[in-house]
Amino acid sequence: MTLPSSIPPMGQRDKLLEMSNVDKVFGGNVVALKDMNLTVNQGDFISLLGPSGCGKSTALRLISGLMRPTSGHINWEGGQKTGDLGVVFQEPTLMPWATVEQNVWLPFRLRGKSIADVQDEIMWALKMVGLEKFQKSYPRELSGGMKMRVSIARSLVTEPRLILMDEPFAALDEITRHKLNNDLLELRDKLKCTVIFVTHSVFESVFLSDRIVVMAARPGRVSSEVTVDAPYPRTEEFRTSADYAELCRKASEALHGAMNEHGARASA
């Protein structure tokens, strides 16, 4: 695969996917998502930040194609093919009866490829997450963080155009979480991949992303967008810098703004 040498600065990136006027209504009257517009560009690291019930998981399920919008459109540049999408859930979601490499093999296996044919890809993905020595292990033999890494390797293995992550580190302890945050950024730097990351942690969203889409609840909708203009690579030093604190303050304010406009547009 030919990787771009670096991710171009925001504003100069090619469009990857566009959500226009997307509504999702459950059971005829529960509005999970209202009039969502979002343009995802190649190389974006977008966090969807918001309180529970703001429709961020719904947005992710719509993009992944697991649900169809009630109205509005989601368009991929050049159309969507299988393998364009990698997904990481809140739980590692591994098959316990399969070894690490068999789990990573899954996206290829479902396309009818034998494990021998894609051995290189599997080993590459495992190396990316630092688990190349654990290819024959079973998930139960791994720690929570390691299982998550396998899950990330599985989402990478097809070299997807877009990776969706639904609160992937929420169930991990703080230390593991920081480590995986750092590693995720390193991965992104290597692969120049596009990520949509759902979280309810302000700190995590600021540390990781270059765009934070703040969402509000009841009905779920986009409230505002915060641009995180701190340069990559971001390291542990960034975590303790004044810039980081300032950006977190900005994102927090946007989040509070979203919480306060609660219901404001619901009646409109």
Partner 1 sequence: MSTTDMNTASIVDEEELRYARAEKREKIAKWVLPVVVIALAVFLWDRMVVWNDIPHYILPGPGLVLETLIQDWGMLSDALIVTLKITLAALAVAVIGGVGLAILFTQSRYFEMSFYPFAVILQVTPVVSIAPLIFIYVDSRIAGLLLCAWIVAFFPILSNTTLGLNSTDHNLRDLYKIYGATRWQRLRYLQLPTALPYFLGGLRIAGGLSLIGAVVAEYVAGTGGIGSGLAFRILEAGYRLNIPRMFAALLLIAATGVVIFTAASLLSHALLHKWHESAIKRES
135 binds partner 1 (CB under 8 A): no
- Near partner 1 by CB under 8 A: residue from 141, 173, 225, 246: 141
Site string for partner 1, 180-219 (x = CB under 8 A): ----------------------------------------
Size of the site for partner 1 (CB under 8 A): 24
| Cβ 105 to partner 1 shortest distance, Å | 10
**Sites for partner 1 among residues 103-132 (CB under 8 A):** 106-107, 109-111
Q: What does the DSSP assignment read for the chain?
A: ----SSPPPTTSPPEEEEEEEEEEEETTTEEEEEEEEEEEETT-EEEEE--TTSSHHHHHHHHHTSS--SEEEEEETT---TTSEEEE-SS----TTS-HHHHHHHHHHTTT--TTTTHHHHHHHHHHTT-GGGTT--GGGS-HHHHHHHHHHHHHTT--SEEEEESTTTTS-HHHHHHHHHHHHHHHHHH--EEEEEES-HHHHHHH-SEEEEEETTTTEEEEEEE--PPSSP-HHHHTSHHHHHHHHHHHHHHHHHHHTTTTTT--
- Near partner 1 by CB under 8 A: residue from 3, 9, 26, 66: 66
Q: Identify whether 139 is preceded by a cis peptide bond (ω within 30 of 0).
A: no
| Cβ 175 to partner 1 shortest distance, Å | 13
- Near partner 1 by CB under 8 A: residue from 35, 91, 253, 261: 91
| Cβ 163 to partner 1 shortest distance, Å | 12
Residue closer to partner 1 (CB basis): 104 or 216 = 104
Residues 166/89, Cβ–Cβ less than 8 Å: yes
- Near partner 1 by CB under 8 A: residue from 39, 70, 93, 252: 93
82 binds partner 1 (CB under 8 A): yes
171 binds partner 1 (CB under 8 A): no
172 binds partner 1 (CB under 8 A): no
Considering only the stretches 9-17, 26-34, 102-110, 175-183, report the one whose residues sit in contact with partner 1 under the rule CB under 8 A. 102-110
- Near partner 1 by CB under 8 A: residue from 8, 35, 77, 89: 89
What count of other Cβ atoms lies within 10 Å of the Cβ of residue 248?
Answer: 16
Q: What is the token pair recorded at 241?
A: 């810098």
Residues of the shown chain interacting with partner 1 in the complex, contacts defined by CB under 8 A = 64-66, 82-83, 85, 87, 89, 91, 93, 95-98, 106-107, 109-111, 138-141, 143
